[in-house]
Amino acid sequence: GGDTFPMWFTFDMGVTAKLSRYKFYHLFMEEHAFQRGNLKTWEVWGRTDTPPADGSWDGWTLLTTCESYKPSGLPAGQISNEDKEYASAGEEFIFPTDAPAVRYIRFKALSTFTGVKFIHLMEVTFYGKPVETK
pLDDT digits (tens, 9 = 90+) for 87-124: 889 999 999 999 999 999 999 999 998 888 889 888 99
Task: Note the pLDDT of residue 1.
Answer: 59
Task: Give the whole-angstrom CA distance, residue 10 versus residue 54.
Answer: 12
Task: Give the whole-angstrom CA distance, residue 17 versus residue 23.
Answer: 16
Q: Residues of the chain whose pLDDT is less than 50?
A: none
Provide the whole-model pTM.
0.93
Task: Note the pLDDT of residue 2.
Answer: 63
Task: Give the whole-angstrom CA distance, residue 102 versus residue 15.
Answer: 8
Percent of the chain with pLDDT over 90: 69
3-state secondary structure of 90: coil
Task: Give the whole-angstrom CA distance, residue 29 versus residue 91.
Answer: 16
Task: Give the whole-angstrom CA distance, residue 113 versus residue 106.
Answer: 20
